[in-house]
């Protein structure tokens, strides 16, 4: 490392101590800018989120099987249940979490009775968990939030710690 610093100092025609002082001065000048940069990124992310809210959602994924009118209706129903669900910090995270939430609501819809968090985690986490999220985090930040959004939209009934698909009918 010393040799590298010595070579850089020599390239700038400075003594090593002068070179190190100039590097330290430059570091002091960049610290406030780093904070400003982080703040600016947050502001830009918020602006992007606001713009994305104005754009109607569209499903750009290829269907896995031929789409029938029944499949379209059930996809529309799940999409309606998830209306307003905006998980994650950026578009990439949102896409992965919406896909996982969609799978969780499809599974819930197919259950004959109310389910608990344990049922959901046991049935779905291995196949639909999000990279970097533990089972509990996935439940709390993705599946449960999706169920709550669906409940707010009138598609899921939450009774204590159990969740049941109502399909948009009055619960």
For the residues 129-157, what does the mean pLDDT come to? 93
Same domain, 147 and 73: yes
152 found inside a domain: yes
> Among 40-44, 95-99, 120-124, 153-157, where is mean pLDDT lowest?
40-44
158 found inside a domain: yes
pLDDT band at 70 (very low <50, low <70, confident <90, very high): very low
- What's the N-to-C CA distance of the chain in angstroms? 69
CA 147/CA 158 separation, integer angstroms = 8
**Which one of 52, 77, 94 terminates a domain?**
52
Residue whose token pair is 């578009």? 91
Q: Which two tokens stand for residue 19?
A: 């070179």
170 found inside a domain: no
Same domain, 33 and 107: no
In 73-140 the beta strands, taken as DSSP E runs, fall at 115-116
Q: What pLDDT, on a 0 to 100 scale, did the predictor assign at position 33?
A: 56
Same domain, 12 and 35: yes
pTM of the model as a whole: 0.57
Same domain, 24 and 69: no
83 found inside a domain: yes
Q: Is the pLDDT of residue 149 over 80?
A: yes
Domain around 98 = 64-165
Structural domains in the chain (count):
2
pLDDT band at 10 (very low <50, low <70, confident <90, very high): confident
**Which whole-number Å values give the CA distances from 1 to 7, 8, 78, 101, in the listed order?**
10, 11, 58, 50
Mean pLDDT across the chain = 80
Same domain, 23 and 74: no
134 found inside a domain: yes
Same domain, 24 and 105: no
> Among 8-12, 36-40, 56-60, 102-106, where is mean pLDDT lowest?
56-60
More confident residue, 49 or 131: 131
Are 150 and 101 in contact, with CB atoms under 8 Å apart? no
Same domain, 90 and 113: yes
> Among 24-38, 114-128, 154-168, where is mean pLDDT lowest?
24-38
For the residues 12-37, what does the mean pLDDT come to? 71
Same domain, 22 and 100: no
Q: What pLDDT, on a 0 to 100 scale, did the predictor assign at position 146?
A: 94
Same domain, 117 and 93: yes
């Amino acid at each position: 490392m010393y040799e590298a610093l010595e070579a850089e100092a020599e390239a700038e025609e400075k003594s090593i101590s002068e070179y190190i002082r100039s590097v330290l001065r430059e570091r002091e000048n960049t610290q406030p800018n780093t904070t400003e940069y982080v703040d600016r990124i947050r502001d830009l992310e918020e602006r992007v989120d606001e713009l994305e809210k104005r754009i109607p959602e569209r499903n750009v994924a290829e269907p896995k099987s031929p789409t029938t009118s029944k499949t379209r209706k059930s996809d529309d129903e799940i999409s309606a249940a998830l209306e307003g669900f905006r998980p994650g910090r950026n578009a990439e995270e949102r896409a992965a979490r919406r896909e996982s939430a969609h799978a969780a609501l499809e599974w819930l819809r197919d259950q004959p009775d109310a389910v608990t968090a344990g049922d959901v985690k046991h049935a779905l986490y291995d196949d639909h968990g999000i990279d970097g999220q533990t089972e509990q985090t996935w439940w709390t930040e993705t599946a449960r939030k999706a169920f709550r959004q669906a409940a707010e939209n009138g598609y899921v009934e939450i009774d204590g710690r159990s969740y049941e698909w109502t399909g948009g009918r009055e619960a």
